[in-house]
Amino acid sequence: MTMLGLLTPQSRNVKVFIKAFRQTRRSRYSSISSVRNIRSFISENTEIVGEQSLTPEVKLRLFTPNCRFWRERPELWPFDDPYWAIYWPGGQALSRYLLDNPAVCRGKTVLDLGSGCGASAIAAKLCGAAHVVANDIDTVAVVATQMNFELNGLEPAVCLSNNMIGSQPEGFDLILLGDMFYEEALATSLHSWLDRCIRTQGTKVLIGDPGRAQFEEHGIRRLLRQLAQFELPESVREENYGLTCSSVWCYRPEL
């Protein structure tokens, strides 16, 4: 990507973009901390898109080449890493799967863990889920998700910013995870918690991932059954190291 002037137009790469934010990371919530100001900031620094993703029927506020922070110096960004401003390939596959198979979440209580932009939570709600909770530890992502729900004509989202991994599992029929297996330590803690959710609550778990090494090489991989695979649009391939496909998996600890 050519975000923040870090890369040439020919070298479009999401990972470098996020790395730049992390290197200059500063928590400066005090200056624009109110929800109203965060909403205004998101509106001014994102663009409504959707057509070039796997889910063109879902509209999202994301970073594009038309946005200021696509090319701005990263130290000017006032928040933590903007993972919510990118529609990651695992989340795209997971959302597409739900929209193609609405019975999976119709009438269910659904948790979208690490919800980011909220796309999978939106897909679940569009498919008739009875209750949807979007959970992300980034409070800016929570606001972005609320805005994206409104953008798609949905009632205000139930959004939580506490870290639910390791918490007492209760009340969810379905847990959704898109692009959450990007670090080994996180993958291990997720593995333990998801196993407990399934064994104590009978929760169904769906995972979206494009085949990152941290996912493919982790022990949880042998406990998964592939449900679907989607070919990524060309623009998404270019933004993600040329990954061509993204898959949806069902977590089955009994395997």
Question: pLDDT at position 12, please?
Answer: 45
The band of 121, judged by pLDDT with boundaries at 50, 70 and 90, is: very high
pLDDT in tens, 12-36: 445 544 454 444 444 444 444 688 9
Coil, strand or helix at 223: helix
- Global pTM reads 0.86
195: tokens are 């196993």
CATH node for 89-251: 3.40.50.150
Side by side, the strands of the sheet bearing 131-135 are 158-160, 131-135, 109-113, 174-178, 204-209, 245-251, 224-231
CA–CA distance, 96 with 104 (Å, rounded to integer) = 12
Q: Where are the alpha helices (DSSP H) in the chain?
A: 14-23, 35-45, 89-100, 119-126, 139-151, 184-201, 213-216, 234-239
Q: Tell me the residue type at 100.
A: D
